[in-house]
Amino acid sequence: MIVAEPSERHLCGLSNSVARTLPATAPNDDADAYLNDTLDIIRGEGVQLVVPVSEEIIHASKLKRHMPNGVRFFGMDHDDLLLLHDKFAFSKSAAAIGLAVPETAMLGSPEADEMVSQYRVIVKPLYTCSGQGLRFIERGDALPAKTSQPMLVQRALPGRHSSSFSVCHEGRVIGTVIYRPEILSDTVSVAFRQDRHAGAERQWVEQFVAAQNLSGFQSFDFIEDEAGESCAIECNPRATSGIHFVTAESLAAAITDPANCRSLEFRNEPVMYQLWPTLTETQKSMFRWGAGYGHKMTTLLGAKEANFSWRDPMPVWGQPWAAWQIMRDAMGNGVSFGEAATQDIAWFGDPPSVG
């Protein structure tokens, strides 16, 4: 396996499953250079399969139309992915086929003003990740002024949250994991519980994937309304934490031969966590009443670490070293770890000049 990565330090680089890590310009520093660097790696290393896995996927999807002969790109093209990442477009496309979504409108529209007069709402950027820029506005309060950054207004629903991770091929779901947050760091789940009985969310995913003819990794966030119906609040067209519940062998089969793969196999782990952020959240709650210290410590001691393997232990033990630059940027700029980790690769709506 070869990894193309802007950061000098990263978890994949510590894995004994990775043959080499090659540098690529961060797409938010220079989108043209990122595409050219990655194409040079593909050609120079004789790559046959390209698999984007994280927030860089919206940028990387532009590579699909430039793939050399014989090279397969695992995923969809840029324009289709962008319609999924666009939270307003996603909501409208799901509603158009009769699937449950919260009421959603663009900030500055009459529909948004009407919504906040009746309900508590959420205001968030059209393109965002890791909960960045999210604000709750109480019923009857004034919405923020419209800015140059596109924002949407969505009705805040009261029920429990869940998320999904699926591998898809041409409108067919190969397999779906439904999971719920066990421990949160801000709005990001760092410990998660698999829900094998969540039939409603699984059916929602299958209907949307078929209607949109989706391929690749597709993930959705859900929240229950007052009646207990699960409504999809956004789509993340990439891998998310649910991937940890899939066995490595099953995932490899689905990626390398999706046309002939019929199902995913799941690890026999009801709860998994990421060590360092879970440890941080547990320590933070130690002397805070009602912060769930006991539950967090029980999870930390009793559940399975998502990335750890005795055959390949360094991605977990070396995480503080690998994440030092991210932690430094988060502390220095006063932002969350998730925001610092994705600022150079996430898509924020400024299209690259090439493509």
Per-residue model confidence as pLDDT tens digits over 218-240 = 999 999 999 999 999 999 999 99
pLDDT greater than 80 at residue 166:
yes
pLDDT at 351 over 60: no
| Percentage of the chain lying above the pLDDT 70 cut | 93
Angle of the 78-85 helix axis to the 87-96 helix axis, nearest 10: 90
- pLDDT value at position 130? 64
For residue 342, the Cα-to-chain-centroid distance in whole angstroms is 11
Give CA–CA dist 94/192, Å, rounded: 26
Mean pLDDT across 8-22: 83
Q: Read out DSSP for 79-96?
A: HHHHHHHSHHHHHHHHHH
Under the banding of pLDDT at 50, 70 and 90, the label for residue 352 is very low
What is the rounded distance in angstroms from the CA atom of residue 6 to the CA atom of residue 16?
Answer: 19
Q: Which 8-state DSSP code applies to residue 145? A: P
Task: Give me the phi and psi of 232, to 5 degrees please.
Answer: -80, 125
Locate tokens 């009646």: which residue? 227
Which ranges of 49-149 does DSSP label H, i.e. alpha helix? 57-60, 78-85, 87-96, 110-118
Which of 293, 294, 250, 303 lies closest to 273 in space, CA to CA? Answer: 303
The pair phi, psi for residue 280, each rounded to 5°, is -60, -45
Residue 57: per-residue pLDDT: 92
How, if at all, do strands 188-194 and 271-273 pair?
Answer: antiparallel
Share of the chain above pLDDT 90, in %: 65
At which residue do the structure tokens 């802007």 appear? 6
Among 162, 153, 257, residue whose Cα is nearest residue 205: 162
Please state the rounded mean pLDDT for residues 144-154: 90
Q: Which two tokens stand for residue 39?
A: 């194409």
Residues 293-321: tens digit of each pLDDT: 999 999 999 999 998 889 998 888 887 77
Strand pairing category for 49-50 and 161-169: unpaired
pLDDT tens, position by position, 170-191: 999 999 999 999 998 877 889 9
Instruction: Starting at the earlier edge strand, list the strands of the sheet with 161-169.
Output: 230-236, 216-224, 161-169, 172-185, 188-194, 271-273, 304-305
Question: What would the two tokens of residue 31 be?
Answer: 């989108």
